[in-house]
Structure 1
Amino acid sequence: MVEIQFQQKVRELIDGLKAICANYGLGNDGNEFKIITQAFLYKFLNDKFAYEAKKVEPSLAEAEKWEDVLSNMSEDELEMLALQMPADTAILKPQHFISYLFSQQNEPDFSKLFDDTLRDISIQNNEIFAVQTDGGAKIKLFDELSQFISDPSKRDEFCKAIINELVEFSFERIFDQKFDFYASIFEYLVKDYNSNSGGKYAEYYTPHAVARIMAEILVPKDMQGQVKNVTCYDPAAGSGTLLMNVAHVIGETRCAIYTQDISQKSSNLLRLNLILNNLVHSIPNVIQGNTMLHPYHKDGSELKKFDYIVSNPPFKLDFSDFRDNLDTKVNKERFFAGIPKIKPKDTDKMEIYQLFLQHIIFSLKENGKAAVVVPTGFISAQSGIDRNIREHLIKNKMLAGVISMPSNIFATTGTNVSIIFIDATNKEKVILIDASNLGDKVKEGKNQKTLLTLEEEMQIIELFNSKTEKDRFSVLVEYDEIEAKNYSLSAGQYFDIKIEFSELTNEDFNLKLKEYEKDLDALFLQSRELEKELKKQLSSLSYDH
């Protein structure tokens, strides 16, 4: 009950920040998401510091105003306090606290003080919290938020409004909550900013049902708690939904996250997601850049190999501007099945997912596992790169299974999707699941979406992990069976065709035969009448010059 009430308070805080943006003309502005997410993050880091500091120094917890006690500490005492706090805690000075800014809000140039505070926090914590580009530049933690207000005379009031919204709220009581709590908060926080509305973004928000299914199959329940010191990678990470779910089932302290994404917006949202989910130690591995052209993560001169890879890559995207740069000797091994050709009249429909899928296969350790969302057309295409990739998976016996998902599982795209599970340790049978008929249809805005129930999720997970066959739903197939069917991974092609027989007496048979003859006589009569009518109509036609 307390958790539900607090979740509502968090939503009210987010709605309050959105209302401030709207009041100052920034509603639906391109920079609104930066203001909302960064103000939220500033508050979160503030309260996390207070929470950890009070655990280290009991006098802070006992004080009526802990900020006053901390302000009276010497620099040496503050440094010692910082050293005893967890490494994922942002280091703040007394003048960085929201309470301090609140006390200074009537001073001249308050917006400058506000921006300077956020800038100083970014500089102090750059090593831990900065996201890198593939060129080595650092993307700082905070922007100068007041600068998004075009009228300088309104900046002070705007910053005051933000501080007044933040000062009465506290995260401290929920820092012991687990993943699901923060996942729902993050989803609410970014729900208006993580779609392709208002711009041509390739990142789509992966539904939690899809993310949970992928995570629970990659790391089954009997393995959870045993997996440790592993690397998890997503080459098109978006805001990190898939990685958060995998890290959750493995254990946040038992894995290191590695990502790359071409979108700076997505990389900033991913950083926030990592902070919320106790994965700050992986922020240095978050790279903003073009994975296909400049894959960043390496061991020496070779591309790094990973234990787990999850991805929902963009399906179709124009990459004609760098396509020819991929077609080199260096990439021959990585893109073993081929590089999609440029479509001059339809460049935005170039199948970029084929590149991502090959990159993922190449980036897996020998005993690694991957789960990748692909368009369902991939699993049965009879020729081209799709078939070449499937042939590679089958010939090398590195496929665990495939799940064909219901249509509209993604509200933002009507493309039917499937999930392929790659596992080079699976040398036995492959499980194919047709879950296309599951789920409830609901309207989400202007779009129709299919929602799986929790029971349906569990059914898919349990059948896959136990490799259990279910009539017209799941089937186990040998690798050579798949090869015989031109490497098709569509479950329906392997289902047994059942013919039902019913016993008929001689009398029943003759009766049915007479019924069919009667029906045929009626149809033949109708056909003759139509023939007469057509001839009549044709004969009445004349040519008028």
Structure 2
Amino acid sequence: MTQDISFINKTKQLIDSLKSVCANYGLGNDGNEFKIITQVVLYKFLNDKFRYEVKKEEPQLAQAENFREALENMEEEAYNFLLASLNPNVPRLKPHQLISALHNRQNEGDFSKTFDDTLRQVSLENAEVFSVKSFSGAKDSLFDELSQFISDSSQRDAFSKALINKLFEFSFEEMFGQKYDFFATIFEYLIKDYNSDSGGKYAEYYTPHAVARIMASIMAPEPVKKARCYDPSAGSGTLLMSLAHQIGEDNCSIYSEDISQKSSNMLRLNLILNNLTHSIPNIIKTNTIAQPYYLNTKFDYIVSNPPFKLDFSDFKDDLEKDIFKERFFAGVPNVPKAKKESMAIYLMFIQHIMYSLSDTGKAAIVVPTGFITAQSGIEKKIRERLIDKGWLRGVVSMPSNIFASTGTNVSVIFLDKQADTDQIVLMDASKLGQTIKEGKNQRTVLTKEEEARIIDTFNQKEAIEDLSVVVSKEQVQEKNYSFSAGQYFEVKIEYVDISEEEFQEKLGGFEERLEGLFASGENLDREIMGNLKKLKFG
């Protein structure tokens, strides 16, 4: 645990130092700061991952006094053989592309060009594994020419040197030798400034780790192998990472789609951090609803925290064509006359997820809590389909403000193509959690014990007073397809045993109070009538 905390703190210090470099050169809170920080961290991880894997493959290199020089002194044939022996998902670097090589060359003239050229070479030579594809199949570049973000060309060399010096001071190599749970903490810290207006708006509601863990633990309580895991609105990949940790990184492949290039780049870094590099080629930047890359692919596990409000009026008409009717069986939401951005696009994602499940597929989807009780419209049609086909495993309604960035109450619906229709679990966890303050926002945080209680109660299909009910498909149909646990809780009346004397005494007290109220009422009536008679015109 001490070592874990040490690495967390050192990594946070690295991120802070890189932000400080950006600020010192006029890029603090600049729109390009995000690119610089994330790309430099990506380069650092590629560098250290390469060093770590090479040392494992060639122990004598690990013992060398100077790793880079030992690598440079290898014969070309031996070096190429070494590269060929590495796992395909390990980055390939040449000795002069290492951070230590750049650190040694920083006093050469035109260093910023050397820095940019090195990143460009690394990008081209590792594009096959580490590049993110778009819907058209085009691959992105791993790195921009980072020094070019400095408008004053005379400062570019100094800026590039400052970045390299920060990267040279710390190594992640020890982290690759063990599986740590703090990657999520590092990642959240890395993007925290980009989830606020001050850091350039980062377009996603960051899914709390507690919610992600609950979803993963309920979806995959038993060991599985060769699972295909998918998120159609992946963002930075929080839900996918929790699911992969639950299943085991070696037992699953990750697939994702997201319209944001920024999110796709963050997900790529997250996959590297979490030993899931083999899934990077499956990251697709696209509009999942209008141009789904994986339309004809079926998945074993699907997780999603879809956007609740997003304007898709530009391509709404195309969605209503015949080709989409099977996927969007319940329909396409109408365009509101005002506030087009409030369109309920999440309803499209739910239908897309249902369409994308394999015959034994399971899914967990974050929805506005209003979805589970809506009495008509697309919401009702979706709920009817889930119940009538026997796909609903259960629902957990979360506490208010569990998302710090939105006040919308949310629930998680769990789908399973092989669900037990006689034991559907509906849970109201809204009273759980502790309220804390994060900046200007208040947020509800679940304790570890509460997380475990939700997971165990759901997986064991327990009915607990004021928390959960276990109902059948027929009971849900009788309740007009409501998924709200509260509508199934028993109404309990407290009975108290009293003697006949106590009963007569209470009854007498009631009669006495009533007589007093009646008398007061008669007096008030006479007073009002008297006042009315005194009224005169003019």
Q: TM-score normalised to the size of structure 1?
A: 0.94
**What does residue 139 of structure 1 align with?**
140
Shift of 1:534: 7.7
Please give the residue correspondences for 1:131-530 in structure 2 after superposition, counting only pairs within 5 Å. Answer: 131-194=132-195, 202-220=203-221, 223-224=222-223, 227-298=224-295, 303-427=296-420, 428-521=422-515, 523=517
Mean Cα deviation higher: 329-338 or 33-42: 33-42
Amino acid in structure 2 at the alignment position of 1:127: E
**What does residue 34 of structure 1 align with?**
35
Shift of 1:54: 1.0
Shift of 1:540: 10
Shift of 1:529: 7.3
Please give the residue correspondences for 1:62-101 in structure 2 after superposition, counting only pairs within 5 Å. Answer: 62-101=63-102
Structure 1 distance, partners of 2:170, 2:531, is 83
497 and 151 in structure 1: CA distance in 2 versus 1, 3 angstrom threshold = same
Query: 1:11 aligns to what SS in structure 2?
Result: helix
Query: 2:177 aligns to what SS in structure 1?
Result: coil
207 and 541 in structure 1: CA distance in 2 versus 1, 3 angstrom threshold = farther
366 and 121 in structure 1: CA distance in 2 versus 1, 3 angstrom threshold = same
Structure 1 distance, partners of 2:90, 2:7, is 22
Shift of 1:439: 0.2
Mean Cα deviation higher: 499-508 or 287-296: 499-508
Amino acid in structure 2 at the alignment position of 1:365: S
Mean Cα deviation higher: 7-16 or 498-507: 498-507
Shift of 1:539: 9.5
Amino acid in structure 2 at the alignment position of 1:276: L
Is the 8 Å Cα contact of residues 194 and 202 (structure 2) preserved in structure 1? no
Amino acid in structure 1 at the alignment position of 2:255: Y
Structure 2 distance, partners of 1:476, 1:132, is 44
**What does residue 59 of structure 1 align with?**
60
Q: Write the deviation string for residues 372-406 of structure 1: whole angstroms up to 9, x where unpaired.
A: 00000000000000000000000001110000000
Amino acid in structure 2 at the alignment position of 1:204: Y
Structure 1 distance, partners of 2:243, 2:464, is 27
Structure 2 distance, partners of 1:370, 1:67, is 47
Unaligned runs of 5+ in 1: none
51 and 507 in structure 1: CA distance in 2 versus 1, 3 angstrom threshold = same
Structure 1 distance, partners of 2:468, 2:346, is 26
Mean Cα deviation higher: 487-496 or 140-149: 140-149
Structure 1 distance, partners of 2:136, 2:526, is 79
Shift of 1:481: 0.6
Structure 1 distance, partners of 2:533, 2:135, is 77
543 and 265 in structure 1: CA distance in 2 versus 1, 3 angstrom threshold = farther
Shift of 1:59: 2.1
260 and 530 in structure 1: CA distance in 2 versus 1, 3 angstrom threshold = farther
Is the 8 Å Cα contact of residues 317 and 352 (structure 1) preserved in structure 2? yes
Structure 2 distance, partners of 1:537, 1:255, is 85
Residues matched between the structures, number:
536
Amino acid in structure 2 at the alignment position of 1:379: I
**What does residue 8 of structure 1 align with?**
9
Shift of 1:145: 1.0
Is the 8 Å Cα contact of residues 179 and 248 (structure 1) preserved in structure 2? no
Structure 1 distance, partners of 2:236, 2:533, is 71
Structure 2 distance, partners of 1:282, 1:388, is 35
Is the 8 Å Cα contact of residues 49 and 91 (structure 1) preserved in structure 2? yes
How large is the Cα RMSD of the aligned pairs?
2.1
Query: 2:218 aligns to what SS in structure 1?
Result: helix
Shift of 1:79: 1.3
Structure 1 distance, partners of 2:197, 2:354, is 28
Query: 1:19 aligns to what SS in structure 2?
Result: helix
Is the 8 Å Cα contact of residues 381 and 387 (structure 1) preserved in structure 2? yes
Structure 1 distance, partners of 2:72, 2:533, is 105
Structure 2 distance, partners of 1:515, 1:135, is 82
Taking only the aligned residue pairs, the percentage that are identical comes to: 59
Shift of 1:346: 2.4
Amino acid in structure 1 at the alignment position of 2:381: N
Structure 1 distance, partners of 2:536, 2:122, is 89
Q: Write the deviation string for residues 339-395 of structure 1: whole angstroms up to 9, x where unpaired.
A: 101112121111000000000001001110000000000000000000000000000
Is the 8 Å Cα contact of residues 129 and 140 (structure 1) preserved in structure 2? no
Structure 2 distance, partners of 1:308, 1:274, is 17
Is the 8 Å Cα contact of residues 30 and 200 (structure 2) preserved in structure 1? no
Is the 8 Å Cα contact of residues 195 and 201 (structure 2) preserved in structure 1? no
Query: 1:192 aligns to what SS in structure 2?
Result: helix
**What does residue 112 of structure 1 align with?**
113
535 and 108 in structure 1: CA distance in 2 versus 1, 3 angstrom threshold = farther
